[in-house]
Amino acid sequence: MPRIYDGDWFLHDHDENLGRTVWGRNNGDGTTTFRTDYRVDPTVEINKAQRNLAQDNWKGDYHQIASIPLNVYYDQLHQATRQDDQNFISKWLNDSENQAWRTKKGRV
């Protein structure tokens, strides 16, 4: 079966159910680098719908404020969570660049 290429990257694995595609690239020195891409459009659309339906008040004990894919969490928030850095987490969640992951309007 012929390989599928995207530039220097070749398709290594694809899982439609997980929305995950793994690409490999031969580095020329006998090593291979792998990159994993995740489909996030469904999460972004669900978050937007939840954000639009969410009540504006913050009364009560529990509010889901975000839904973040694990790859984004581990890349952006995992260390802050391990260090209990609530200021960093709040700042990250309140940043307009991360609005796609928010499920509730307002500030954390």
* Same domain, residue pair 45 and 34: no
Each residue's pLDDT expressed in tens, for the chain with a length of 108 residues:
789 999 999 999 999 998 899 999 999 999 999 999 999 999 999 999 999 998 888 788 888 999 999 889 999 999 999 999 999 999 999 999 999 999 999 898
Domains in the chain, number? 2
Determine contact, residues 69/43, Cβ cutoff 8 Å.
yes
Structural domain of residue 48, as residue ranges?
Answer: 41-101
Q: What is the pLDDT of residue 100?
A: 96
* Same domain, residue pair 65 and 93: yes
* Same domain, residue pair 10 and 22: yes
**Cα–Cα distance, 94 to 31 (Å, whole number):** 40
